[in-house]
Structure 1
Amino acid sequence: MSVLFVSCLAVCLLPFVHTAPVSVAWCYHMPWCSDTVWSTISKECNGTEQSPINIVTADVQANTNLTSFNFTGYDDDTNLIEIKNTGHSIKVALDHEKMHVEGGDLPGLFTSMQFHLHWGNGSTMPGSEHTVDGKQYPMEGTNDTGKPESWKTLTSYLADVANAGDEACITEYISMNDLLPGVDRTKYYRYHGSLTTPNCNEGVMWTIFKEPVKVSKDLIDLFSTNVFINKASSSSLMTNNFRHIQPINGRIVTSQVTDVAGPIVPLPTNSCLSDPSVSQTEVSQSTFDLVMEEYW
C-alpha cells in the first residue's frame, strides 16, 4: 500500500504450527520491552531468518514459479467482520470460511484470517517494516482528502477502538479488493522470513507487492492521532509500531523474470521456496498484514 499503509504490500504465509504464547510483555516504545530486547523475551526472535528485511533490488533473483495468485472472497464486501485495538496494532478479523488464496508458488490453499497494520507517526514519519534499497516508506499520501472511500470507511471505526482491548463490529460494506485499489498483485518479491512480532516464528513465506495503495494524508494521520496503547486518558498514542530491519544472513529474495530493478540472476533449480507460512500484506508507512493459515 502506498499511502495509508502502503508503498509496499506484503503477503506472507505462516506455517501451521502451535507455539506457546509469549509470557513476558513486549512493546515498541519502552527500552525494556522494545524490539531491541525481544531476543531475551523469545529466543525465536534471535533466529537467522528474521523479518523485516531491506530488499536490495540489485540482488533480487528471478523465479519463474512466481505466478499470479487466485483470490477467493476478496470481492465480497461482507467479509470484514470486526476491528480491534490489540494494544500493539489495529487488527481486522475476516470471515475465514469465505476467503482463500492459492497460486503464486504457494504450497497449497490458504485461508485469510485477519489483517493488521503498522505505521509511523503521521503522514510525514515513515513506518513501513520492510524497506526497499534502504528506503522506509512513509505511507506516501495524496493531496486529496478522504480518499479512497474504502479507507475513509475503515478509518471511521478508529474512534470506536481508541483504547487497547476495544473492538467493534464492521457493519459497512468493504471488500479486501476495495482496500487494494490499483495494486498489481502479479508483481511481487518473495523471501523466507518470520513474524515481525514475538514469538517471531520463522517459516514465513513473505510476498511483498511492488505497487503501493495510495491513501490521502488525512486518513493516514488518523492512526497516529486516534489510537492509544492503553486507555486514552492515561497512555500514549500508538505510533511507530514497527520492528526494525533484521540481518538477511545470506537469504535470497526472488521476483518474476520481468520488472525487477537491477540485474537478474536465474535462481538455481535446487533453491526451492516452498515453506508454508502466514499471509500478510504490508505497506509503506503502514504495513497491512494479512494473516493466513493452510486450509484443511
Structure 2
Amino acid sequence: MQKTMIYILIVAAIAIMLSEGEQKKHNAQWGYKGDLAPEYWAKLDKEYEMCEKGKNQSPIDIAGQKTEASLEYITFYDDARATTFSNNGHTLKVSFARGNIIDFQGKDYSLVQMHFHTPSENRIDGISYEMEAHLVHKNKDGDFAVIAVMFEEAEDTNIVLNKLLRNVPEEKGESNSVRADVYGYDILPEDKEYYTFDGSLTTPPCTEGVKWIVFKNPVKASKNQLEDFRTIMKKNNRPLQDRNGRYILE
C-alpha cells in the first residue's frame, strides 16, 4: 500500500512538472495597439526583455553614413512552391515547401516563411513604403537571415500578390491552401542590389543576431492590392529602433 502511494505521488509530481513545462511554452500575447503595443512588449513577458534591452534591434532607418563594400551576390536556389497562406492575427504569412535556399556570406539559409507589414518597418533614407515583405530564413545552426522587400503603389498589378490574394485568409486563425504556382523568390525585384546589417526579429522575442538583407529597389503593387493587405492586417509595423553605431554595408 505504501509503495502504491509513493508511486501515485511520483506520477502526480511528474504530471505537475510536465504541465508547468507546457504552460511555459505559451508566451504572453502581444500586438500593435493598446496595452499590447510595441512599447509594452518587454513588460508583457520575461522572454521579451530583449525588445527593450537589445542594442541591435530592428527595424531601422537605413540613412546617413553607409559603408560601400564589395558585397558578394546572393545565390538563390528556388524550386519549392508556396503551400499555405495564413492569418495569425499579427500578419499574413506564406509558408513554403522545403527547397528554397540562399547562399549568403558563405552560409546556406533555408526559407522558412514570408510575411508582410503595412506600412514598411524599415525605412530607406527616411522613406517609409506602403508595405514590406520579410522572407525569413534559417541556417543549420539556428541563425536567422531576413530579406526585406519594399512595395510602392503603381498602376500595374503585382502578379505574385494577385496569385496570393485569390486565397487570402481574411479572419484570424484562417489558413488557406495556395493553389497557384508561387515560388520562394518570385516576389523579389529584378535589380538585387542590397544593404546588409546586423539586427533582430521585429516581433517578440526580438531575438538579435539576425542578418538583414534589404533590397534597395522596391517592387510595385496596385492601390487595390495594397488596400487588401492593409484592410486585413491594419497597422502592424514596429517603430524604428536606434541604430547604435551599427555599420550598414551596401
User: Gaps (5+ residues) in structure 1?
Assistant: 1-19, 120-126, 228-237, 256-296
Using the alignment, how far apart are the partners of 1:178 and 1:67 within structure 2?
Answer: 21
1:14: which partner in 2? none
2:111: which partner in 1? 112
Using the alignment, how far apart are the partners of 1:109 and 1:196 within structure 2?
Answer: 22
What secondary structure sits across from 1:214 in the alignment? strand
- 1:231-271 deviation digits (Å, cap 9, x = unpaired): xxxxxxx311010000111111111xxxxxxxxxxxxxxxx
1:173 is displaced (CA, Å) by: 1.2
TM-score (norm 1): 0.65
- 1:74-121 deviation digits (Å, cap 9, x = unpaired): xx3x5111111011000111112x111103x2x4111111111111xx
1:35: which partner in 2? 38
Partner amino acid, structure 1, of 2:108: L
Larger relative contact order (CA 8 Å, sep ≥ 6): 1
1:189: which partner in 2? 195
- What percentage of residue pairs aligned between the two structures are identical? 31
1:214: which partner in 2? 220
Using the alignment, how far apart are the partners of 1:49 and 1:150 within structure 2?
Answer: 32
1:137 is displaced (CA, Å) by: 1.4
1:48: which partner in 2? 55
What secondary structure sits across from 1:81 in the alignment? strand
What secondary structure sits across from 1:71 in the alignment? strand
1:1-296 to 2 correspondence within 5 Å? Answer: 23-30=27-34, 32-41=35-44, 42-46=48-52, 47-56=54-63, 58-64=64-70, 66-73=71-78, 76=79, 79-96=81-98, 98-103=99-104, 105=105, 107-119=106-118, 127-138=119-130, 139-144=151-156, 147-158=157-168, 161-180=169-188, 182-185=189-192, 187-225=193-231, 227=232, 238-255=233-250
Change (3 A) 1:134 1:22: farther
Whichever of the two has the greater Rg, that structure is 2
1:39 is displaced (CA, Å) by: 2.1
Partner amino acid, structure 2, of 1:101: I
Whose helix proportion is higher, 1 or 2? 2
Change (3 A) 1:148 1:36: same
Runs of 4+ in 1 over 6 A off after TM superposition: none
Using the alignment, how far apart are the partners of 1:21 and 1:208 within structure 2?
Answer: 32
1:22 is displaced (CA, Å) by: 6.4
1:149 is displaced (CA, Å) by: 2.3
User: Gaps (5+ residues) in structure 2?
Assistant: 1-23, 131-150
1:195 is displaced (CA, Å) by: 0.2
